[in-house]
């Protein structure tokens, strides 16, 4: 396993980059990464917290923290458990975005461990005879299995900031896999939705794992063992990532991806060549705070952009019940999503104007479409090139807006030293491609590429290419008191497909601007405004707010099932305040760690 380090905006002109770097300490890569050391005094020394989508994963994280482990150790242990007990959301067959904060050096690091396209991938691989494949045929196709990155991500993160022995991190998951664990209602319910689908006949291990001998889905509470998963983790614990990317398990993964019908191209060589990529996080101001999130091919820069547009439309903070605030949030989101859908892709393959999209002058110009009482029916991508005089021209790419599924999870950890990790991990659709190897599901992440590689005669930025990483909505985020990053305020993230951006931005505004508790901010109604039909989670919103947001020109849809999975930690003076999304089954717990 090799680490790749790419400048975030390698395509920008040096003059433009120098101009935009002014005053942005630690924002983009420089020749020397100068950081400010955090003060030695730390009110929360000895306290630690973990928040994840399953109490068994949270317990695994806390067990590592109690032993003096780092946030990295705790995150790896928790994610190994989630890969077992939450197999519909993420696991070893997928990838993730790792955002880490080191309090001593005040440094924020972003590691891209997302799946990459195999060498055999083609721009038209999601088409058949020039037309898009049926949805279920696509998501279960071997063509959409990307090279998994999560195990390599674990290894690289542990090399940098692990404290406990590598093998010790997998002990909780191995024990659960061997002794048995109870299926959750969420796993059972999602499996039940697959029951009528014929692809279960194509994947006997999947059928045997989730269904009984009569074909009925195993109900919540059913005790399940997964000796294959335990064996995989034991091999990884003993031999490191090479146990996954080389040898028998690699051959099993490649064979599962290549199996018919609709076999894919993932090969042993793709696994052996996988590389984690370090990228500079996307950072920018919001009110008095400094927000850092995932860069392209992630969507954290869109979170930063939405916050900047919202602040311009709402110059003075508004309460949580304010229709003015949520109206501005809707239009800021529409503008941010429009830019994201047009420009964001893998920056190691195409130029992505991340600096320009959160430039203050561009946000000032873009904010003019956010404030009007009667919003425009359609918002197009913005022409930052015309505003700033540099960057990627608007007409360089064809429009693109592929949907994304919600086979994703998020966990957040802060250790006793104040270091934090926010990890969003995914296998794309629930249960990924339904293809099984080594006790886990393989991803179908290549569906995050544009289905149609050209639009109106122009190439699409997010079209598939060999070794390219598909665009992701994952937006693990952290908030600091200033650009110096000496004090962490908040660490957060969520699953939810392309709604992740809105879920995270909403929660940051709730805590930072509306002065809500972490739990109250997470529980706020989700409002997702991507495209011409914004959606509001009607079951959690007051009727008066919904009616106030239905202004002329806005086609607001009342919906159910905005199933975010936000897991948030906020530093509150002498304690950490955690939140687990009530829409799912997670927990957030704080412990006091004895000094070592």
Each residue of 404-439: pLDDT tens digit? 566 899 999 999 999 999 999 999 989 999 999 999
- Token pair, residue 585, equals 């089954």
User: What is the pLDDT at residue 195?
Assistant: 66
Please give the average per-residue pLDDT across 471-478, as a whole number: 97
Q: Tell me the residue length of the chain.
A: 596
Residue with tokens 């990529």: 277
Each residue of 129-158: pLDDT tens digit? 777 777 777 888 899 999 999 999 999 999
Return the HEC string of 25-93: CCCCCCCCCCCCCCCCCCCCCCEEEEEECCHHHHHHHHHHHHCCCCHHHHHHHHHHHHHHHCCCCCCCC
H or E element, residue 410:
strand 407-414
Determine if residue 508 is left, alpha or beta; phi over 0 gives left, psi from -120 to 50 gives alpha, anything else beta. Answer: alpha
Question: Is 36 buried (19+), middle (13-18) or exposed (0-12) by CB count in 10 A?
Answer: middle
More confident site: 593 or 4: 593
What is the DSSP code (8-state) at residue 198? T
Is the pLDDT confidence value at 228 over 90? yes
Q: Shortest CA distance to 404 belongs to which of 466, 332, 495, 523?
A: 495
Is the pLDDT confidence value at 493 over 90? yes
Question: Is 375 buried (19+), middle (13-18) or exposed (0-12) by CB count in 10 A?
Answer: buried
**What are the DSSP E strand ranges found in 156-244?**
181-182, 223-224
Is the pLDDT confidence value at 205 over 70? yes
Return the HEC string of 343-386: HCCCCCCCCCCHHHHCCHHHHHHHHHHCCCCCCCCCCCCCCHHH
**What are the DSSP E strand ranges found in 484-534?**
488-492, 527-528
**What are the DSSP E strand ranges found in 223-269?**
223-224
User: What is the pLDDT at residue 594?
Assistant: 83
**104: number of Cβ within 10 Å:** 13
Strand order in the sheet with 289-293: 282-286, 289-293, 477-480, 488-492, 567-572, 575-580
Give the integer Cα–Cα distance in Å for 400 and 407: 21
More confident site: 307 or 195: 307
Which stretch of 328-337, 338-347, 393-402 has the lowest confidence by average pLDDT? 393-402
What is the DSSP code (8-state) at residue 396? G
């Amino acid at each position: 396993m090799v680490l790749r380090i790419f400048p975030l905006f390698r395509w920008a002109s040096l003059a433009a980059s120098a101009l935009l770097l002014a005053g942005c300490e630690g924002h983009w890569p420089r020749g020397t990464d100068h950081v400010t050391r955090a003060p030695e005094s730390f009110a929360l020394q000895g306290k630690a917290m973990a928040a994840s989508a399953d109490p068994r994963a949270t317990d695994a994280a806390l067990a590592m923290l109690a032993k003096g482990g780092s946030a990295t150790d705790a995150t790896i242990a928790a994610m190994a458990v989630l890969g077992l007990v939450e197999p519909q959301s993420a696991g070893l067959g997928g990838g993730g975005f790792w955002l880490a904060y080191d309090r001593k050096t005040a440094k924020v690091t972003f590691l891209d461990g997302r799946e990459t396209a195999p060498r055999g991938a083609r721009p038209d691989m999601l088409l058949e005879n020039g037309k898009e494949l049926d949805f279920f045929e696509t998501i279960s196709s071997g063509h959409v299995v990307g090279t998994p990155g999560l195990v390599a991500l674990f290894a690289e993160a542990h090399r940098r900031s692990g404290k406990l022995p590598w093998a010790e991190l997998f002990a909780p998951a191995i024990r659960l896999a061997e002794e048995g664990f109870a299926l959750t209602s969420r796993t059972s319910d999602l499996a039940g939705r697959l029951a009528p689908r014929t692809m279960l006949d194509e994947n006997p291990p999947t059928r045997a794992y989730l269904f009984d001998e009569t074909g009925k889905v195993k109900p919540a509470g059913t005790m399940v063992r997964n000796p294959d998963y335990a064996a995989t983790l034991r091999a990884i614990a003993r031999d490191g990532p090479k146990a996954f990317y080389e040898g028998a398990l690699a051959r099993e993964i490649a064979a599962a991806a290549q199996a018919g019908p609709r076999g894919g191209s993932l090969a042993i060589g793709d696994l052996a060549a996988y590389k984690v990529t370090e990228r500079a996080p996307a950072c920018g101001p919001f009110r008095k705070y400094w927000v850092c999130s995932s860069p392209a091919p992630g969507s954290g820069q869109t979170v930063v952009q939405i916050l900047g547009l919202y602040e311009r439309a709402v110059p003075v903070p508004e309460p949580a019940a304010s229709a003015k605030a949520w109206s501005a949030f809707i239009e800021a989101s529409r503008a941010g999503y429009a830019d994201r859908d047009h420009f964001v892709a893998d920056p190691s393959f195409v130029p992505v104007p991340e600096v320009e999209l959160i430039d203050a002058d561009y946000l000032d110009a873009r904010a003019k479409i956010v404030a009007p009482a009667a919003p425009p029916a359609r918002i197009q991508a913005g022409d930052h090139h015309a505003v700033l005089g540099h960057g990627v021209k608007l007409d360089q790419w064809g429009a693109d807006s592929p949907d994304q599924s919600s086979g994703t999870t998020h966990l957040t950890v802060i250790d006793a030293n104040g270091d934090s990790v926010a990890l969003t991990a995914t296998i794309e659709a629930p249960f990924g491609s339904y293809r099984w190897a080594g006790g886990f599901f393989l991803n179908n992440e290549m569906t995050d590429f544009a289905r149609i590689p050209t639009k109106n005669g122009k190439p699409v930025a997010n079209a598939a290419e060999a070794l390219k990483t598909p665009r992701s909505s994952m937006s693990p985020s952290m908030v600091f008191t200033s650009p110096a990053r000496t004090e962490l305020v908040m660490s957060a993230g969520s699953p939810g497909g392309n709604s992740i951006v809105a879920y995270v931005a909403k929660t940051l505004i709730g805590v930072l601007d509306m002065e809500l508790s972490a739990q109250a901010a997470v529980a706020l109604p989700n409002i997702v405004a991507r495209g011409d039909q914004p959606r509001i989670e009607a079951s959690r919103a007051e009727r008066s707010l919904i009616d106030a947001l239905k202004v002329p020109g806005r086609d607001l849809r009342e919906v159910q099932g905005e199933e975010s999975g936000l897991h948030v930690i906020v530093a509150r003076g002498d304690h950490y305040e955690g939140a687990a999304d009530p829409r799912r089954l997670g927990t957030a717990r704080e412990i006091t760690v004895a000094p070592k």
